Amino acid sequence: MSRFTTPGWQIQVRERYSLTMGLFARDAAGLRPRMDLHIPPLSPTVDIRSDFARLAGPRTTDEWETWWSRELLRETESGPGLYPPHFPALASCPQLGALVRACFDDAVAWNVRRHRRSGGFPAGDESYAPEAGLVGAVEAEIGRRARPFRLVVTQLPVAEETGWRVARDHVLVSEGRRRNTSAYGEWLTPMIRELA
């Protein structure tokens, strides 16, 4: 996680471990949740496994939807999370809890391979900070310093170049969209302009 701040504004860039682990469970079990946001499959691809799919009934899907909605709005990784052995965030979701416990080790191994394969580029890599440059460009465009604002950018390792605004001050963005500096700038600049 990184913060790019001035006395007036703050942009926090992060990758939420819990969201990535939840998406792994969704993909590995073949869950098809009904969501307002269409979150693409993970990248690299996670194959459906029959032993996980057996744990993925309609109730598991319902619990995943409830958990995702709640988790997406949580500000930080602190608090009840998807951490073994008890997975406190899933205390009220027994079916989803069983699925996460079953696939957790595979999810961790997948995540380690993903980071090794990508050669880095963590969400909070301060050597790659297009957001600060975008704020500077907006300030030059509007002819003044940006008003105080806060923006959270949550990066997801999904297959498509895409992004979603989940709140006035919170966006989800795929790794691919954030790496594509031109497309990322075109997408994020109007939101920064609105906040500034």
CATH classification at residue 177: 3.30.2010
Between residues 171 and 70, the one the model is more confident about: 171
Q: How confident is the model at residue 2 (pLDDT cuts 50, 70, 90)?
A: low
Q: How confident is the model at residue 123 (pLDDT cuts 50, 70, 90)?
A: low
**Predicted local confidence at residue 129, as pLDDT:** 77
- Residue 15 clears pLDDT 70, i.e. is over it: yes
Of 118, 136, 165, which one is at a domain's C-terminal end? 118
- Residue 3 clears pLDDT 60, i.e. is over it: no
Residue with tokens 């965030």: 89
Average pLDDT across the chain, whole number = 88
Q: Are residues 22 and 9 in the same domain?
A: no
Q: Are residues 111 and 22 in the same domain?
A: yes
Q: How many domains does the chain have?
A: 2
Between residues 191 and 118, the one the model is more confident about: 191
**Cβ atoms of residues 48 and 29 within 8 Å:** yes
Q: Are residues 155 and 112 in the same domain?
A: no
- Residue 69 belongs to domain spanning: 17-118
